[in-house]
Structure 1
Amino acid sequence: MNPNPNTNDFPLLSHLLNHLDPQTHPPLPAELDQSLLTQFPHLNHPSVLSSLARHASTLNVTPTLSLLRTLRASEKKLLEAYAESVKGVVEEVSEGVVGVLKKAESEEVERVDLSGSHLRILPEAFGKIRGLVVLNLSQNQLEVIPDSIAGLQRLVELDVSSNVLESLPDSIGLLVNLKIFNVSANKLTALPESIALCRSLVELDASFNNLMCLPTNMGFGLVNLEKLLIHLNKIRFLPASIGEMKSLRHLDVHFNELHGLPQSIGKLTNLEYLNVSSNFSDMTELPETLGDLVNLRELDLSNNQIRALPYSFGRLEKLTKLNLDQNPIIVPPIEVVNQGAEAVKEFMAKWWLDLIEEAQQKSMSETQNQQAQTGWLAWGASLLNNVAEVSESVAEYFGAKKAPRDPWLDQQL
């Protein structure tokens, strides 16, 4: 038995006390608080908190009982109170969902907002609301999205952020009019290959998940995508097809495990914002094609292991914001980096020109050497040929038979 109990021993009571009086009672550690909300998903519902507060006011600390026993008894009563009060919440939520479905039977429903409604299940019948344009299901406890979602052919905006989704249905690819899709703050480990069929997508937010990779052919389909947010994941490589997202303007891949960027990144000539910061020891170099991002205005490379910028960096004429903090940078020198983006671009442009000039001089020198060597060989061949011709002429002059050609001379010629 722990003689010195702390808030971790009585999470429900601690959470309630912090809600009632945050000045006096400190909050639970973030990890424990998240675990508590997962276990008790309706804990922050107003009616549940109100019910728990009423029960808390009836708790008595009896002198004849030890403090530890009293706290345990209080925690147990709060658990019972939660179970009782949550019944009403579930009924309330169910009524709300049923209300939406009934309304859709008699009239066209274009917008549905069920955010923060403590939903655990989305009825298959939602796929029958044919006129739905905007659907907000964020901040719930949804574990799956039904396949019937494919029935929402007019859907333009879908928000399922802050749920507990571990996967998305393949039928998501049938939402051909979807333009904005927010699936951030879930538990996804992958996106379905069918996401590439959502060709109308303009904005995709899949940040704060457990993504390990992106679909291989994703870029070939999402040619209209302008904003891609995939930060706070575990992605190691971006697919080469990302270079086909010719409309992309904003790309955020910070806090991943990227080992680099594909050469095809240079094809994103409309890109204005790129954040590849905080990939730490995994990110060590950048492709030369980075210099092809002619419209890039803001670039964050902080918290990586980059030692040198690519030779082409000086071509980023529109770049105005550059963050290279926390890198073992050597090229350009740190004193240049500290002067800002313009100084870095100027240094890299000059360095590039110097390298070109050096390469040209080396090439000229090699050409001259080659010409000199070629000239000597030509002179030698001509000399040997003349010797052979003179030999034949002398023999003919003295009336002798034509002398046989010398095999050695033939070989040299």
Structure 2
Amino acid sequence: MFTKLFSRRLWSRDFVLIVLVCTIASYTNSTFMTLLPVYVLDLGGTNAMTGMMMTGLTVVGMFTRIIAAPLFDRVGRKKMLVLGAGLYAVNALLFCFTKDLNMLFALRVLQGFTQGVFFPVPHIIVADISPEDMLVDAMGLFGAANAVVFAVAPSIGLAVYNDLGRQALFISSTVTGFMSFFFSIFIKEHYHPAPHAPAEPGRKTKKARFDRALLLLVLLTSLVHLFLYIGNSAVSNFLTPCGLSRGLEQISLYFLVNNIAVIAARLTVGRLIVYLSKKTCILLSVLLSAGGTALIAVARNMPLMLLSAVLMGLGLTAAAQLLQAQVMLTTPSEHRGVASTVFTFMGDIGTGAGAALWGALSAGAGYTVTYLLAGTSTLAGGVFHGAYWKRNRG
């Protein structure tokens, strides 16, 4: 069943390199996400400041991706990858030279820019270099490698921070950042922008119709992604206080089990589509994700919470992976930068909007209503899923 995962057609030199680039950089990203808030508190800052840092990073990152998206298609993938990896490594290095909270705030917001240039490119390169019939597997392996790093990096980073201090933590993050940059240099450019030929008057309208049709397909897929992450934001942002309010002191186990399910889904979903159509697999994944979210509404013990963790890990991961692969397969290579950005951008909007919505709702109506409605919002993505396949029959 898994022999195709080890095919030499997939494991090319550049595929190995791009996996290394992203997984090594994931250590840097993970340590900043999980341990910079701890450092801010140690310096006398507050959780409110950490929240504002994340808001600034998110807003700057979103605008950066919008601006950078056309460059991925016009300039080329490798140039943008090397530029982004280099900027991200230098950004990490700057943290080694300050203890000032205002400067830390500015550097963290600046990471929104460097991440916005760097992080979107590896997924596009994976799509460029992978055989079309193995793209789902390629995305799965790529995501699984990053998930493993995100599972272990916080513990490693915390040990470094506690035993050796903040300077050692930032140095280790800088070293991995520059290692990622170093490996990016050796990746070959597989995408070459096509020269812009003058349009023929008789074909102008036809080309416009094609562009609108392509955009509609990308938007429909991205809207499924949007509603998936609106629902998921209730889990990622409010599960811990929900569990503690119900007396579940071991609620952190949810995220461990969820991460194991994420890795399992990434490695197996490519095999599942051999037996079931992508349309069916995505629909089942949306249902699993919605069910896992809604289950939290009635979960008053850890077994039910852990069942939700499995359903969410399998459902959300499989749906997002298949949807992203479908966007890449539907879109010509000269438009993949923009299409990929639209797809991830909608997920970011869902995460941000969902956090605000569920935060207000949970404060007023409680967690039971919140998670029931979050599961229902996930199901809304199924409407756009059906509309996509209706438009994409051919």
TM range (shorter): under 0.3
TM-score w.r.t. length of structure 2: 0.18
Q: Which has the higher helix share?
A: 2
TM-score w.r.t. length of structure 1: 0.17
Q: Which has the higher strand share?
A: 1
